[in-house]
Structures are given as structure tokens and as C-alpha cells.
Amino acid sequence: MSLHLSSCETRLIIRDDKHSAAKYLADYIICMNLTSNLQESNSSLTITTKKARIKTFAPTPSKPFVIGLPTGSSPEGIYNHLVAAHKRGEISFRNVITFNMDEYVGIPREHPESYHSFMYQHFFSHVDVDPANINILNGNAEDLEEECIAYEEKIKRAGGIELFMGGIGPDGHIAFNEPGSSLASRTRVKTLAYDTILANSRFFGNDLNKVPKMALTVGVQTVLEAREVVTIITGPHKALALQKCIEGGVNHMWTLSSLQLHPHAMIVVDEDATLELQVKTVK
């Protein structure tokens, strides 16, 4: 494992491939068998881990662990490891409250490409999370703006998000905060950029006309207000985004770069995603 601590405290964890990157992040979220690895890299990281991860947080009905969750291809491996750990009896999600990052506007919840469907297919249906603790934006709400306002209020009532897990697109966007999004943005209705529609068309039979043109998404500021943010980035097609986001300055055209403003941010990557980084960043 290579680890880089920048002046803004963003931690970069490099694993050999996307599978080991996903396992590392899943284990980190659970907080299992990581203490020795972290101690040999940085003692303050060990302290952070002990403070907030699910098992050591010891959530209860009156003190739940609140986590923000993504969808898409990036986190699939993480969910697979979390489900496997649950089935082995290593972790319970009974006292965990979840808030998903985003949802398409105008497709039914039961649509196979809705993010409701994704989450139940890959995670919720396989663990012991209480359905009452699952929060996903309603892209079919009668008043979409009111739905977004209410979502922010739900997060506040839950005590804020302890840990936000994310992935990114090749253009460095987190959730649906595409290039040009305000770094002060909140949960809102978003018209999707053509590049996003094109990228997501692979889930809709490569038919651009079937891809929703709008979505509801948490804002950049919503993510930054979490007490910790962890992100997985894998593959050479995201190497430029990683380079821009950690070696460049904070830039609303690469919204993941906003993590430079967060005191407890971690990015887990595979070797392929580091292809554009300077040697001094990864050594």
C-alpha cells in the first residue's frame, strides 16, 4: 500500500487492482483488520479509523451510524464485500441509516435502472438494514424542489452524515455534480450533461433517448458536511480525473477536487487510476 498525505489531509490509498481497492474500502467502512496496516503508514489515520467506523462506532437505535451511499459500477465491488461480511456474521446494518446520493427523475422505482432498484439488487436486499432507515431521493415526487429541501432536512434530523462513500465519473464529478457545479451546492434538481447521458446510455441499451435527462442529487456542500468522505476510483479512464482532483487546485470543473477542502477525506484507487500522477505523489 502506498499512502500520500497532502497539505489538505486528503489520503490516497493505492491498491494493485479494482478488486483489492474495493475490498480495502469495504473493510475500512466496517473497520476490520486495518489497524496494523494503518499504523505502519500514519498513526493519525489509525485514530480516525477507531473513532468513526461502523463496528467501533457501535451504533444503537438511539445512536445510529449514518452513511451516504453511491450507485454505479464503481461501488459494486464494495457492496459485494459488505454483503459477504454481513453473511459471515462480521457486521450488522440494523442500526445504520443510509442516504443515497442521487436518483433519476421520471422513471419508476421498479425500473431496472433506477437507483432504488440498484441499491436493493446490490445491497439492501442482502443485509439486515431496517427499511425505515433507507433514504433515497424520489425522482417522481410531485414537487421535486420540495423533495430536495426535505432530503436535506432528513439528513440534519439524523444528526448529519458520519461517512459519505462515493465514486466519480471520468470528468471528476461526484454524485451528479457535473463540471461547473457550485461547490456550495445543496440537494437539487439537475439537468444532466450530454457526456453523462452518453456514459449512462450503456445501462439503457445504448439508446440515448431512453436515458433520463434530469436527476435529483445531493450537492457538493452536502457531501463536504459529512464527517468523513471516502471515494473509490479505478481504471485508466479515470486517471486524468484523479490527477486533476488531487494535484490540481480546487476547481468547480472537477468537483471531486472539493475534497481538498475536507479535513477527513480518503481516496482509494487501483494502479491503473494512477497513470497520470506524478511520481512524487505516489512514492
Catalytic site includes residue 130: no
For residue 192, the 8-state DSSP code is P
Catalytic residue (choose from 27, 147, 171, 228) = 171
Note the pLDDT of residue 280. Answer: 72
**Residue 17 annotated in active site:** no
What SS3 class is residue 271?
A: helix
Catalytic, out of 27, 102, 225, 228: 102
Confidence band (pLDDT; 50, 70, 90) for 14? Answer: very high
Which pLDDT value is given to residue 2?
A: 45
Check if the beta carbon of residue 201 is closer than 8 Å to that of residue 208: yes
Beta bridge partners of 214: 191
Q: Pick the catalytic residue: 103, 162, 178, 225?
A: 178
Handedness of CA 256, 259, 260, 266 (dihedral sign): negative
Confidence of residue 10 (pLDDT cuts 50, 70, 90): confident
- Per DSSP, which regions of the chain are E strands? 2-5, 11-15, 65-69, 96-100, 102-104, 134-135, 163-167, 188-191, 214-217, 229-233, 265-270
Q: Is 173 designated active site?
A: yes
282 confidence band (pLDDT: 50, 70, 90):
confident
Question: Which domains, ranges and CATH numbers included, belong to the chain?
Answer: 8-274 (3.40.50.1360)
Residue 105 to residues 80, 95, 229: CA-CA distances in angstroms?
27, 29, 26
Position 58 scores a pLDDT of 94
Which three three-digit cell numbers place residue 272?
491503473
What are the tens digits of pLDDT across the range 213-258?
999 999 999 999 999 999 999 999 999 999 999 999 999 999 999 9
Catalytic, out of 173, 228, 264, 270: 173
Residue 148: pLDDT over 70: yes
How would residue 53 be classed by pLDDT, with cut points 50, 70 and 90? confident
d(CA 279, CA 283): 6
Please tell me the predicted confidence (pLDDT) of residue 43: 36
User: How confident is the model at residue 279, as a pLDDT?
Assistant: 81
Q: Which residue has cell 435502472?
A: 113
Is residue 178 among the annotated active site residues? yes
C-alpha 68/C-alpha 74 separation (Å) is 15
Which amino acid makes up residue 221? Q
At 9 the pLDDT is 67
Per DSSP, the three-state class of 127 is coil
Structural contact between residues 99 and 62, judged by C-beta atoms closer than 8 angstroms: no
126, HSE (Cβ side, Cα atoms, 13 Å): 18
Say what the pTM is: 0.90
Query: For 35, what's the count of Cα atoms within 13 Å in the CB-facing half-sphere?
Result: 7
Least confident of 3-12, 116-125, 140-149, 206-215: 3-12
Mean pLDDT of 7-16: 82
Q: pLDDT: is 42 or 259 the higher one?
A: 259
